[in-house]
Amino acid sequence: MMDVKIVRFSGEITDYEWCVWKDIILSNGYIDDETLYEIRSRLEQQLFNCISENQVLDILIRIIADTIDIDKPAMQYHASRLLLRIVMQEVHGGETPCTLKTLYSRNVSIGVYDNALMEMYDEASWEEINAYINHENNLSFTYAGLRQMVDKYLVQDRIHKTLYETPQEAFMLIGMFMFMKEKREIRKGLIFSFYDALSQFKVSLPTPIISGVRTPLRQFSSCCLIDVGDTTDSILASNSAVGYYTAQRAGIGLNFGRIRGKDAKIRDGSVVHTGLIPFMKIYESTTKSFTQNSIRGGGSTATVPFFHWEIEQFIRLKNNKGNEENRVRRMDFSIALHKVFRERVREDQMITLFSMEECAPLYQSMYGKDVDHFRDVYEAFEARLDIRKREVSARELYVAIIQERFETGRIYILNADHVNSHSSFSKPIYMSNLCQEITLPTSPIQSVDDTNGEIAMCILSNINLGKIDFIEELDDLTRLLVRFLDNLIDYQEYPLLSAARVTQKRRSLGIGISDLFHFLAKQGVEYDKKKARDLVHEYMERFQYGLIRSSMLLAKEKGMAEGFHETMYFSGVFPIDSYCRTVDQLHEEGLKCDWSKLREEVKRYGMRNTTLSAIPPAASSSIVSNSTAGVDPPRMHMTTKLSKHGPLVQLLPDIEKYYSSYSLAWGISNASYIKLIAVIQKFIDQSISTNMYYDLSLYENERVPIRELIEDELTAYKYGLKTLYYLNTHDGSGNEMEKVESSCSGGACEV
């Protein structure tokens, strides 16, 4: 801990005392005299008798953080470096760090670190690795970034406020754990390369990994997809699975599409089904009852198909109207749509709703690759007289979905036909995850020990495009991340056998890109121009090519995934073969990588992973790395985010260079933005957390015309987007105060 020597305060700071503190402040760089005078004046106002040096430093940090502004971007580094002094004092007792092995051994002895490294590295390796750590990299943190790193990611005792590590030690240890079983001749190079990429913010990791690897808790999958079956056993077992994985920091995706509708007959009719809502309330409570390592609360998204008996009630579950008995407001909701439904909407026809226990073949056919087959099966079920069914207007239901999406922002869209036609799997996909970027096969479990059901898990990471200087860097970064995450699959533990079996069989990864709008600003291109789409096309091709090739090379070295035969890759079909061809209208860039050679290599060696790419939200890690979040446009040049330490001011990266080059969310055209995302989706084998943005001040009575909302949603479908995530609105006031984790319900699956 810091020296807590008491400072006697007599009412004003003496010149000598101010010189001491000013020297500390200016050791971080130049500050003009006017700002220094303001800092001194505010410090005098907040000092009190018998204040400790720790408390003075905390006050100084808050004062300097308050001066951060677009015109004073350097102040975010002054505040960060003062906070870094506290961190170094708490962990090392001063500015000189102890050796990494000393820190590691100390933390193992008190039980906050996993002891797995003890037998894996000899003394010479520890010394070599310790010498490579560059603590100067800590100076690259902005104040918001370091504050986020300290509060959320570093290992600590959150009760007694005891910090056990600094960022650079955490970054190095993460690589040491994940590459510890690699061959000695390549291990050091992998560790150092990964450390460089992580500490220089070229890659970002999700919360379960960056806060968990090196601790005794070994569960690092960000996303958990649970398919709930239409039986009492499955409903209860699935709820238990929600509890286990929420407690271990995973975001939850739930599929309720198999559960029968309200008033359906159970057994001989002596029992009448209660419908979806009572069961969803159970899951809602379970999700919110478990905190995720005291870092955040749980979050879940539930999915049903458009023809479910209770679809009209389902889409209104987040609505503020109604009472607690008929609302489930602490979950989010996704509607699985299909081309057949859209045809009925366009032609202003009726659709038929069914209770799911009576139409299992219909449910299965919706999630196949043959659209015409589903149409035939759907029409056949509509003609049946022996089952319960009712008709509603397709157009009225669609408008209601769009309206609820606008009103709550949390009604998501899953385009079942695109999800399955542009999938890396030959098996059907019924659902997505909490944040709508993961699309993996699932099937219900009947007990917590069930090994036949399929709970799908996915492990995430991102490459920050704005932090790389050359497209060739993607080759090394994709190679590193594929190997790193693949090792993590074997290292982590699994609370449920079904999740263990499926994850180890499929080895699904979800590597994405982030910092997109920083990247575009650096390149001097506008998001809505064909030049931007061509540039993104080139980078995304290189990105996905690198992922596939890395997985192929890993299969050559370690063996292909057991479930590789379930994929379209096994059949020689890559994402560039199955994407929605309307995307070709949006760009002029052609394919540049040697796909023919790669196909032959995949055919010969297989792949280590059944999926490789997905683009999650990145609000949390973007604060740490001082980047723009995911593929989202930034909301403002300067955003104030709420944290437990008060407002955190975050400026856009390199704002002094690229202020005028940034496109902001509240000024974008959603249609143009969707076209940019569609080019990215062409190469992604899973999905993208795609948001929309509407500035209400631009519309009469602050209401976006329903026609515009519909046109934007249809544009997303036209160009092959698989899922739609949040619909964000803004009143145009210029006030932008966000919670740090606001971009992901619960934050669980964001990077």
Lowest mean pLDDT among 51-60, 75-84, 388-397, 461-470: 51-60
Residues 498 and 548 in one domain: yes
Residues 46 and 140 in one domain: yes
pLDDT at 603 over 70: yes
* Maximum C-alpha span of the chain: 93
Residues 364 and 509 in one domain: no
643 exposure class (CB count in 10 Å sphere: 0-12, 13-18, 19+):
middle
Residues 373 and 495 in one domain: no
Chosen domain end from 181, 200, 235: 181
Residues 493 and 395 in one domain: no
Residues 494 and 544 in one domain: yes
H/E segment holding residue 733: none
The strand pairing partners of 615, in sequence order, are 688
What's residue 144's pLDDT? Answer: 96
What's residue 292's pLDDT? Answer: 52
Q: At residue 436, what is the residue type?
A: Q
What's residue 747's pLDDT? Answer: 52
Residues 395 and 495 in one domain: no
Mean pLDDT of 97-120: 97
Q: At residue 167, what is the residue type?
A: P
Q: Which residues contact 650 (CB under 8 A, 6 or more apart)?
A: 142, 144, 623, 626, 638, 639, 640, 641
Q: What is the mean pLDDT of the chain?
A: 93
Chain segment 401-457, per-residue pLDDT in tens: 999 999 999 999 999 999 999 999 999 999 999 999 999 999 999 999 999 999 999
C-alpha 614/C-alpha 458 separation (Å) is: 10
> Checking DSSP bridges between strand 203-204 and strand 456-464, what pairing results, if any?
antiparallel
Within a domain: 749: no
pLDDT at 11 over 90: no
pLDDT at 297 over 80: no
- For residue 33, what are the domain limits? 6-181
What's residue 740's pLDDT? Answer: 40
Report the CATH number that the domain containing residue 344 is assigned in CATH.
3.20.70.20
Within a domain: 425: no
pLDDT at 648 over 90: no
Mean pLDDT of 363-376: 97
Q: In total, how many domains does the chain have? A: 3
Lowest mean pLDDT among 48-57, 110-119, 344-353: 48-57
Residues 389 and 245 in one domain: yes
Mean pLDDT of 647-669: 95
Within a domain: 429: no
Cβ atoms of 242 and 254 closer than 8 Å: yes
Residues 57 and 131 in one domain: yes
Residues 366 and 507 in one domain: no
Chain segment 178-233, per-residue pLDDT in tens: 999 999 999 999 999 999 999 999 999 999 999 999 999 998 998 999 999 999 99
Would you put residue 734 in left (φ > 0), alpha (ψ -120 to 50) or beta? left
Q: Give φ, ψ of 407 to 5 degrees.
A: -70, -40
Going by pLDDT thresholds of 50, 70 and 90, the confidence category of residue 739 is very low
What's residue 296's pLDDT? Answer: 58
Within a domain: 722: yes
The one-character DSSP state at 747 is: S
Cβ atoms of 688 and 681 closer than 8 Å: yes
Chosen domain end from 130, 149, 181: 181
Residues 167 and 260 in one domain: no
Going by pLDDT thresholds of 50, 70 and 90, the confidence category of residue 53 is confident
Residues 175 and 306 in one domain: no
Chain segment 404-416, per-residue pLDDT in tens: 999 999 999 999 9
Going by pLDDT thresholds of 50, 70 and 90, the confidence category of residue 642 is confident
Chosen domain end from 149, 181, 213: 181
Catalytic residues: 433, 435, 437
Within a domain: 751: no
What's residue 396's pLDDT? Answer: 98
pLDDT at 52 over 90: no
What's residue 4's pLDDT? Answer: 46
pLDDT at 647 over 60: yes
What's residue 749's pLDDT? Answer: 57
pLDDT at 1 over 60: no
Within a domain: 602: yes
Within a domain: 1: no
pLDDT at 522 over 90: yes
C-alpha 337/C-alpha 343 separation (Å) is: 11
